Amino acid sequence: MKLVTELRGNVSNLDIVSMGRGQSSKAESFIQKTNIHKGRWIFLQNCHLIISWMPHLQKLIEKYEFQILK
């Protein structure tokens, strides 16, 4: 939160998701929101609790990276 405050002035553009049971859909929603509202940050905590979802997260990030490069 300190880094976001230093770089953005406040934490109003930061979404935090503590990963675990049932949080993958919330995280994906925030990722989509971030793609729409440029400049938002997402902090995914405790990703070790949802290792099986990490390949899906990687695909989401690659999809949005490709869109940015276009």
Which of 24, 34, 23 minimizes the C-alpha distance to 57?
A: 24
pLDDT of residue 47: 93
pLDDT of residue 39: 76
> What residue segments make up the domains of the chain, in order of their start?
2-69
The model's confidence at residue 66, banded by pLDDT at 50, 70 and 90, is low
The model's pLDDT over 28-59, given as tens digits with 9 standing for 90+, comes to 999 888 766 777 889 999 999 999 999 999 99
39 SS3 class: coil
Percentage of the chain exceeding pLDDT 90: 41
- Can you read off the two tokens belonging to residue 1? 């939160």
Q: What is the pTM of this model?
A: 0.74
User: Is the pLDDT confidence value at 9 over 90?
Assistant: no
